Structure 1
Amino acid sequence: MTDEQHSLLKASDINAMNAFEFHHPLNPNSEIYLHFLGRAVGLKRIGVTIARVPPGKESFIFHAHQNEEEWVYILSGRGIVEIGDKEYEVEPGDFMGYGLPQQPHHLRNPFDEDLVYLMGGEAGGLDIGIFPRLGKRVIRDSESAYIVDESALQLFWSSQQRSKPSTED
């Protein structure tokens, strides 16, 4: 495969890709099928993915990222997006962007046809996902992800403190 072929993903290639089926382990109604376009053309620092959520299912879980921005562009179908404490119906052509600091958000499909969208964002080496309704966080590095109950977090230092602990501690 040449560099030119590696950089170009034709529609026929995308249609021939096997979708990755994902069910978020903390949301029993999560069911989403993913085509990783960015990975297919060798992108390492940003992700670009086509996602499909069947009728009656949800994408992931109500969450926010601490270190990575993300976006969603609706291609077909309709859905309900929660952003913070508000809900909005979304349809083809609607765009959502989640900069930092990020509002918690979630996308679900209560309608009778598939919800299909293009999503993307940063793919850094370290991110923390916050699940505010569950009181949990996920800490992800480039190799693994760890879930932590917020009640188990112990403050090491804070920017509100006048001085940080010395490196000798």
Structure 2
Amino acid sequence: MSIDDRVINIDELQLEHFQQGDKFESRSARVGPRLGAKDLGYSYDVLPPGKTGCPFHSHHAEEEMFFIVSGSGLLRYGTQTRKIRAGDFIACPTGGADTAHQIINDSDAPLAFVSVSTMKPAEVCEYPDSGKIGAFGSGAVRHLTRTSQALDYWDGE
């Protein structure tokens, strides 16, 4: 790759539209793969007014960081909420429900941010609002279930 392949400006990104129901919507670009990143994942997301891009969740393997590029919104983090605005850095280390996080655009203008995460070969995420847990791994490993449906370690052995 040439040096020019390692750099892209926000205004050059081709944002893809995503929508799930009435609550989740964004325009996003996964930037890391485009630039040849290996150990960090990063993307640029724009949330329309009144929307969020993902469910309230926590990570057990991957750490995330967000930088608010423009706009303002609301950060849910554990049991707390706070206003966020352009220029804010947000740290989301690994952990359980205490580190669950979600960015919500509660304003009347778009909210744009950059997210950065460590890329791990395996990940477990918890979703406190819905009681789900997800296991994700390299390749096609992707399994979501509810914590209430837990099996005993020896079940079926």
Matches within 5 A, 1:59-138: 59-101=53-95, 103-138=99-134
Give me the whole-angstrom Cα distance separating, in 1, the residues matched to 2:100 and 2:12.
34
* Higher CA-based Rg: 1
Partner of 2:6: 7
Identity of aligned residues (%): 23
Q: How many residues align?
A: 152
> Partners in 1 of 2:102 and 2:66 — Cα distance?
11
Q: Is the 8 A contact 1:128 1:139 kept in 2?
A: yes
How far the C-alpha of 1:155 sits from its partner, in A, is 4.1
Paired amino acid for 1:63: H
* Distance in 2 (alpha carbons) for counterparts of 1:48 and 1:6: 16
CA change 1:150–1:84 in 2 (3 A) is same
- The CA deviation string for residues 110-167 of structure 1, in whole angstroms up to 9 with x for no partner, is 111000011111121111110012111111112232211111222429xxxxxxxxxx
Whole-Å Cα distance in 1 between the matches of residues 40 and 91 of structure 2? 15
The answer as to 2:44 corresponding to 1:47 is no
TM (norm. structure 1) is 0.82
User: When the two structures are superposed, what TM-score results if normalisation uses the length of structure 2?
Assistant: 0.88
> How many angstroms apart in 1 are the aligned matches of 2:105 and 2:117?
21
Deviation at 1:28, TM superposition (A): 4.4
What 5-or-longer segments of structure 1 have no aligned partner? 158-168
Flag as ranges the 4+ runs of structure 1 deviating above 6 A.
Answer: none
Residue of structure 1 aligned with 2:28, choices 16, 31, 34: 34
Give the partner amino acid of 1:18.
Q
2:29–2:44 contact (8 Å) kept in structure 1? yes
Q: Gapped runs of 5+ residues in structure 2?
A: none
